[in-house]
Structures are given as C-alpha cells and as structure tokens.
Amino acid sequence: MKSTEIKSKFKRRLSWGWKQKSRTQSCPAKPLLTGKIVAITGGNEGIGLATVRGLLQREAEVIMLSRNQQKSEKVIETLEGSVHFVKLDLGDISTIEKTIEDLENVLNGRKIDILINNAGIASRNSHRVSPQGYEFIFAVNVLGHHVLFKKCHEKGLLTSNAQIIAVTGDLYIEANDCTPDYDGSDMQAYARSKVGVMWWAYECHRLFPEYKVNIVHPGVVPFGLNANKESFAIKLMSSLMLSPEGGAQTTLICATQPNIETGAYYHNTLGKVILPEDDVALKADASKAFWHILEEIYDKDLRV
Ligand SMILES: NC(=O)c1ccc[n+]([C@@H]2O[C@H](COP(=O)([O-])OP(=O)(O)OC[C@H]3O[C@@H](n4cnc5c(N)ncnc54)[C@H](OP(=O)(O)O)[C@@H]3O)[C@@H](O)[C@H]2O)c1
C-alpha cells in the first residue's frame, strides 16, 4: 500500500471528498482468512456489514457484535458463511460482562484472531449521556470499545498475536481533545470521539506490543451514521462518494494483506498516513492521560 506524508490540513480535507470512488484502493480477493475468527462491532449495517461480507468471502468465521438483535438476525439470514450474533451494547458498559459470557460460549475454547472496533455513532438522538453518566458519543465510540477490548484481553479471548483494528474518522483533525464529559455539538463530540479512537489505538499499540494494532479511516459513506437517506443532499453525495462496500476496503486490506504495519494509520485514499509532528493524534502525553481516564472509569464502574 502506498504511503502519504501529510503536510497540510487542506490536503486532508480535500481527501474526504475528492475522487473518493476512483482513489479508494480495493482489497485483493486473496489471501484468504480460512480458519480465522474475526469479531466485529456494528457488523449489521453500513460499512460494518460490508466488511462482514468481505470477511465471509475470504472464508473467515465472523462474530457480529451488535446491539440490535432482531436487525442482526435478519441480516445474518442473507449472509453465506459462518456468522454468529452476540449482543453488545457499547453505550452501557454494565452490559458488557454478559456480552463476554456469550462470546465465551460462541468461542467454546477458541480465540479471536482479529477484533474490529467498527461500530460508531455521530449523533446522540435522545441520549445525552450513558447510563453511567458519560457523554454518549464518547461512551459508544471509545469507552465501550475499551471495555470490550480489556475484557477480551483479561479473559484470554484473543490469540497471543491478535490483530486489533480501530475504525476512526479522519474528521478527528477538527477536534483537539477527547473527554468523557463534553457538552457541545454532536459534530464536535463525534470528532472528539475519533481523537479518542486515535489516542486509544496508539496507547493500545504501546502497552500491548504482542498485538498488531491498526487504525483505519474508511472513507466517506454518506448513507452511514444515521444520515437521512431521503435527503436530496445525501442522495447527491452518495452518487459521488463511497458505497458501504467501498468503505469496507481499507479495513479488509488491513485484515488480510501482508506488510500492514502495526501502530500505523491507514486511510482509504492516502494509504499509510505519516502524520505531521503537531497532529493532535500524536500528542503522547495526552494519549497516556486519556488511557488513564479510561482505566479509572473501568476500575470505578466495572471491577467487582
Ligand atoms: N460513514 C462515513 O462516512 C464514515 C466516515 C469515517 C468514519 N466512519 C466510521 O466507520 C464506522 C462505521 O460507520 P457506518 O457509516 O457504517 O455507520 P452506520 O451505518 O451508522 O452503522 C453503525 C453501526 O454501529 C452499531 N452501533 C451503534 N450504536 C451501537 C451500540 N450502542 N452498541 C453496539 N453497536 C452499536 C450499529 O448497530 P445497531 O443498530 O445494532 O446498534 C451499526 O451496525 C464508524 O466507526 C464511523 O465513525 C464512517
């Protein structure tokens, strides 16, 4: 995969719109993932569902970790291959212990080779805060995934050299912090949560060198993230931007292709991104402090 050194925010913002379809790399059909177990959050819709289809085409066994059981089971009926559903509500971390029990039952002594943290929301709808009192977009996009990863790690559900793929959004450059108590607009809360995903992934890479950690910007898929599918603007954008299948390509490349580097950030049109030194994602002190906050929440709300 090509790599791009980023010099200006202008070039990045341009990359979100310019020639999305023709510049997004497609994942080759091989190598296959035969015998591998892939767990993916939010695999019942949008980019996640297209990723599940791509994984099944490559013969992986897939565990779809999603909140909406009825929707997931309906979708699974349309899929060919080995897929299991395990209920996961990232927005309420008190429920994740039960998810882990269900996951253990499905795994039945086997382990997860690839964990894809794909689920994400960009608006709070009726929820302002999670049941534990944290800003809701942060709770789903970052905290829930942290708890899921930590519990999988602590229970030994990941292979010793598992791959963790964290799906972010390059829009994160529009924010400069991530905290559990943000009280502003949905758009800024979303950008901040994606700063959180970047910091989380860099810290995960530093603290758990046994795992291969990759960060993915999937590209812009206008129908995702609760977009109004009837809106004229969304219909127009979707003719110019990516389909969910296009949005799945970068995650599939990271999950299957050789020479994917651990700790690196992959972008649908820019390839491996070499970030400028002053990029918010590279603030090492901030990402360490952020991980510490996640751990404090984990200890306070979840340890028994
Ligand atoms: N679409 C874009 O243009 C774009 C751009 C950059 C980055 N991304 C990132 O790509 C990822 C996928 O986006 P998408 O466009 O495919 O989104 P989407 O179509 O809106 O799908 C979101 C998925 O997240 C799941 N989800 C939502 N809340 C959840 C919760 N509380 N617990 C568990 N799962 C939950 C949903 O499943 P349920 O309905 O079952 O809850 C659904 O499967 C996100 O991380 C997003 O930030 C998207």
Instruction: State the pLDDT at residue 89.
Output: 98
- Tell me the C-alpha distance between 100 and 192, whole Å: 27
Query: Is 90 in contact with 136 (CB distance < 8 Å)?
Result: no
- Tell me the C-alpha distance between 278 and 267, whole Å: 19
Share of the chain above pLDDT 70, in %: 94
Three-state SS at 231: coil
Which residue's entry shows tokens 């700063």? 195
Fill in the amino acid letter for 286: A
CA count, 13 A, side-chain hemisphere, 91: 19
Residue pLDDT, tens place only, 71-115:
999 999 999 999 999 999 999 999 999 999 999 999 999 999 999
Under 8 Å CB-to-CB from 282, ≥6 apart: which residues?
Answer: 202, 275
The yes-or-no verdict on residue 238 having pLDDT over 90 is no
234 Cα: distance to centroid of ligand 1 (angstroms): 17
Under 8 Å CB-to-CB from 244, ≥6 apart: which residues?
Answer: 46, 47, 49, 50, 221, 223, 224
Ligand 1, residues 21, 47, 132, 186: which to mutate, most atoms within 8 A of Cβ?
A: 47
**Residue 218, ligand 1, Cβ within 6 A:** yes
pLDDT category at 241 given cuts 50, 70, 90 is confident
- Tell me the C-alpha distance between 254 and 217, whole Å: 11
CATH topology for the 3-299 domain: Rossmann fold (3.40.50)
Instruction: State the pLDDT at residue 125.
Output: 77
For CA atoms 133, 134, 140, 144, give the dihedral sign.
Answer: negative
What secondary structure letter does DSSP report for 269? T
Phi, psi for 73 (deg, rounded to 5): -65, -35
Instruction: State the pLDDT at residue 229.
Output: 64
